[in-house]
């Protein structure tokens, strides 16, 4: 590795500032909070102004090629800052580091640290190492330790906190890179999870989200004798927490026991995010999803019969290899008949090393884009109609803070995870308030405080 040419002592800490840019999913958001916690331990403080940072970390995602391109562009931009400040440290962490490893140094020689998904807890030591050796460092383990040690966390929100319950994924859906960059499933011990949730309650957090690539397989790796439903029931007993959420569920592993715990629980929110990915049985089979549309439909019926006011959202990929017009029409029909509250829709992106990337009959980009538009038009109409049906109702909202786009408005969410905006009043961040819905849009509700 090249020795870095720094003319001043890299005395980490002591009024030094860090800036973290996070791409990707909630697991990455949580990892960034654990990176921030370690930096604070070294004496760094955070800055929103990237030009003022002594250390920049880019926490990356590689789930789609579009994310990857954007990230390489961003890493390239940072070269300019390094020219201005040769003492600046630049680190690239997360899923893209895990996938591309040394390629990042080749493409971007101004990067000092490349750290994989299994190495997050090592940041403190790695910063010390770079500061002393002044060499670049690559820390990308192929496999995770069974469970990485806990590290301090600096949380972004004062209201809502992520709590990882398991890491990795064993599903190997044929389109997905996650099992290759996040490793096999490892469940976190129940005692550690409960201790963290209780601590968060004591600190004043109102909402927690249990995180994992596939939360419903909690405990299946044999380290715990309980399953996800038991875990939810245990967390539901922590009285200081007002709301419990969880991400992400695999429809195949969602079952009657979990639904019953949510129905009878006090704190678990009535929102089911169940990524269906396609409404065609042929495509689902090629994706290795392990369920049929009939199974999924019955699951939705079960949820709606047990918890009629539950919201159901999904993820859908269009243009998977071999998806013909006819198979895509099946997805459109499925979406029309299920009536999701919302759907996150994606163009299929071939990920090298995954089985789908080399499947025959890859769909041209123009067709993928056309299908995405069609799907979004159908879903938007449904989302709007479902939201319009809420006009006139009063909903319970957890106040998160000012709206990002309009500081005169406050933002919060319903238990069903719908975003609500209202004019700023006397309400406090973290408070549960009642809001009367006055207007509905596809992705949000607008209202007035009802009390």
For residue 291, list its beta bridge partners: none
With binding defined as CB under 6 A, does residue 343 bind ligand 5AD? no
Phi, psi of 186 (to 5 degrees): -135, 120
State the minimum distance, in angstroms, from the CB of residue 55 to ligand SF4. Answer: 21
Rounded CA separation 303/255 (Å): 10
Write down the H helix ranges in 42-109.
65-84, 95-100, 103-107
Binds 219: which of ligand SF4, ligand 5AD, none (CB < 5-8 Å by kind): none
Among 275, 290, 355, 401, binds ligand 5AD (CB under 6 A): 275
Size of the site for ligand SF4 (CB under 6 A): 13
Among 176, 197, 283, 433, binds ligand 5AD (CB under 6 A): 176
State the minimum distance, in angstroms, from the CB of residue 329 to ligand SF4. Answer: 28
Among 16, 18, 20, 27, binds ligand SF4 (CB under 6 A): 27
The structure tokens 């910063």 sit at 127
Half-sphere exposure of 86 (CA within 13 A, CB side): 8
Among 187, 277, 331, 387, binds ligand 5AD (CB under 6 A): 277
Going residue by residue from 146 to 185, which x/- string records binding to ligand SF4, judged by CB under 6 A?
Answer: -------------------------------xx--xx---
Rg (CA), the chain: 23
Q: Which two tokens stand for residue 441?
A: 């849009």
Give the nearer residue to ligand SF4 in terms of CB position, either 218 or 334: 218
State the minimum distance, in angstroms, from the CB of residue 313 to ligand 5AD. Answer: 11
Rounded CA separation 20/91 (Å): 9
Residue 374's Cα: distance from chain center in Å? Answer: 26
For residue 433, list its beta bridge partners: 397
For residue 45, list its beta bridge partners: 17
Give residues 4-63 in contact with ligand 5AD (rule: CB under 6 A). Answer: 63
Rounded CA separation 12/8 (Å): 11
Whether omega for the bond prior to residue 248 falls within 30 degrees of 0, making it cis, is yes
Q: Are 408 and 421 in contact (CB under 8 A)?
A: no
Phi, psi of 277 (to 5 degrees): 75, -40
Give residues 312-341 in contact with ligand 5AD (rule: CB under 6 A). Answer: 315, 317
The window from 28-36, 345-353, 396-404, 433-441 that contacts ligand 5AD (CB under 6 A) reads 345-353
Among 16, 19, 34, 64, binds ligand 5AD (CB under 6 A): 64
With binding defined as CB under 6 A, does residue 63 bind ligand SF4? yes
Binds 95: which of ligand 5AD, ligand SF4, none (CB < 5-8 Å by kind): ligand SF4
With binding defined as CB under 6 A, does residue 349 bind ligand 5AD? yes
Asked whether residue 95 is marked as a ligand-binding residue, the answer is yes
Half-sphere exposure of 435 (CA within 13 A, CB side): 31
Q: What b/e string do you get for 17-48 counting C-beta neighbours within 10 Å, with b at 16 or more? A: bbbbebbbbebbbbbbbbbbbbbbebebeebe
Among 39, 57, 88, 95, binds ligand SF4 (CB under 6 A): 95
Half-sphere exposure of 191 (CA within 13 A, CB side): 1
The site for ligand SF4 (CB under 6 A) is made up of 24-25, 27-28, 61-63, 94-95, 177-178, 181-182
Q: What does the binding site for ligand 5AD look like in residue numbers (CB under 6 A)? A: 63-64, 175-176, 275, 277, 315, 317, 346, 348-349, 351
Binding residues for [4Fe-4S] cluster: 25, 61, 95, 169, 173, 176
């Amino acid at each position: 590795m090249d020795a870095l040419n720094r003319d001043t002592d890299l005395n980490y800490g002591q009024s030094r500032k860090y800036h973290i840019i996070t791409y990707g999913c909630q697991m990455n958001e949580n990892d960034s909070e654990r990176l921030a916690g370690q930096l604070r331990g070294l004496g760094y403080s955070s800055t929103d102004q990237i030009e003022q940072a002594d250390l920049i970390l880019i926490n990356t995602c590689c789930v789609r090629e579009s994310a990857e391109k954007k990230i390489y562009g961003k890493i390239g931009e940072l070269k300019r800052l390094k020219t201005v400040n040769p003492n600046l440290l630049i680190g690239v962490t997360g899923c893209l580091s895990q996938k591309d490893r040394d390629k990042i140094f080749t493409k971007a020689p101004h990067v000092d640290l490349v750290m994989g998904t299994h190495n997050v807890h090592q940041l403190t030591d790695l910063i010390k190492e770079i500061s002393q050796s002044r060499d670049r460092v690559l820390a990308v383990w192929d496999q995770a330790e069974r469970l990485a040690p806990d590290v301090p966390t600096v949380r972004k929100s004062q209201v809502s906190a992520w709590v990882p319950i398991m890491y990795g994924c064993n599903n190997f859906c044929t389109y997905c890179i996650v099992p290759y960059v996040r490793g096999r499933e490892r469940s976190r011990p129940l005692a550690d999870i409960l201790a963290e949730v209780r601590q968060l309650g004591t600190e004043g957090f109102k909402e927690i989200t249990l995180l994992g690539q596939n939360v419903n397989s909690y405990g299946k790796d044999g380290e715990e004798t309980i399953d996800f439903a038991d875990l939810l029931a245990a967390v539901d007993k922590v009285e200081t927490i007002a709301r419990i959420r969880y991400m992400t569920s695999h429809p195949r592993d969602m079952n009657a026991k979990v639904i019953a715990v949510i129905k009878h629980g006090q704190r678990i929110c009535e929102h089911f995010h169940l990524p269906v990915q396609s409404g065609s049985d042929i495509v689902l089979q090629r994706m290795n999803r392990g369920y049929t549309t009939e199974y999924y439909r019955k699951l939705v019926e079960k949820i709606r019969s047990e918890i009629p006011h539950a919201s159901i959202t999904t993820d859908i990929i269009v243009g998977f290899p071999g998806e013909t017009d006819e198979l895509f029409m099946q997805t459109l029909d499925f979406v029309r008949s299920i009536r999701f509250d919302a759907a996150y829709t994606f163009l299929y992106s071939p990920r090298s090393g995954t089985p789908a990337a080399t499947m025959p009959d890859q769909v041209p980009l123009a067709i993928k884009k056309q299908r995405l538009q069609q799907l979004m038009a159908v879903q938007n109409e449904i989302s709007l109609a479902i939201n319009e049906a809420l006009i006139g109702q009063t909903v319970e909202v957890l106040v998160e803070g000012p709206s990002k786009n309009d500081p005169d408005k406050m933002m919060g969410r319903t238990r069903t995870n719908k975003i609500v905006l209202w004019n700023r009043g006397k309400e406090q961040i973290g408070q549960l308030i009642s809001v009367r819905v006055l207007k509905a849009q596809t992705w949000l509700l607008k209202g007035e405080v009802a009390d």
